[in-house]
């Protein structure tokens, strides 16, 4: 997955992903069950070269869930140390659309925060918990499943 300039001797580069911690007025959060591995996560994916992080978060949420969002603020930066992926997570509010699945999402659901975090890995649950934190943004590292010490 990592790339580098051939022959440059430089280390592999990171990939950047974006995700939306989408919170309704009633406090429920938008989550997807990924089609590729069956895991529950906040909707998100790879940031395209031509877009801002906020635009990427809006696009990814819409593509995976059918929900249009307004981005409020950055709530966390998360690095998967095993895969070299840096994820930017934004707290968002829904502003339109309706729930639907996609090629990337086998299920789309609005869950209570406690319900959502109970079905997710620690590395993804903390993204939602951080979105409710007043002292965000947080910077965390993980191995794909669990948080790891800095």
Quick: pLDDT tens for 39-66. Answer: 999 999 999 999 999 999 999 999 999 9
> In this structure, what are the phi and psi dihedrals at residue 92, rounded to the nearest 5 degrees?
-135, 160
pLDDT at 3: 46
E strands, 81-142, are 85-97, 105-111, 138-142
Handedness of CA 146, 31, 88, 132 (dihedral sign): negative
Fold of 15-148: Nucleoside Triphosphate Pyrophosphohydrolase (3.90.79)
The tokens for 12 are 């592999």
β-pairing verdict for 67-80 and 138-142: parallel
| pLDDT tens digits for range 23-38 | 999 999 999 999 999 9
pTM: 0.90
> In this structure, what are the phi and psi dihedrals at residue 22, rounded to the nearest 5 degrees?
-90, 120
Task: Please check the confidence at residue 17 and state whether its pLDDT lies above 60.
Answer: yes
How many CA atoms are closer than 13 Å to the CA of 134, on its beta-carbon side?
0
| pLDDT tens digits for range 111-130 | 999 999 999 999 999 999 99
pLDDT at 4: 45
């Amino acid at each position: 997955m990592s790339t580098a300039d051939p022959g440059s001797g430089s280390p592999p580069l990171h990939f950047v992903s974006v995700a939306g911690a989408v919170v309704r007025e009633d406090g429920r959060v938008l989550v997807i069950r990924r089609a590729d591995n069956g895991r529950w996560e906040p909707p998100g994916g790879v940031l395209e070269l031509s877009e801002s992080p906020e635009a990427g978060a809006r696009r990814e949420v819409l593509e995976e869930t059918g929900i249009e969002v307004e981005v409020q603020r950055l709530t966390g930066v998360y690095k998967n140390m095993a895969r070299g992926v840096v994820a930017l997570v934004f707290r968002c509010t829904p502003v339109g659309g309706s729930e639907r699945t996609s090629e990337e999402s086998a299920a789309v659901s609005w869950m209570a925060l406690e319900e959502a975090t109970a079905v997710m890995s620690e590395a993804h649950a903390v993204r939602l918990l951080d979105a409710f934190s007043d002292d965000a943004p947080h910077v965390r590292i993980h191995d794909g499943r669990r948080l790891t010490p800095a």
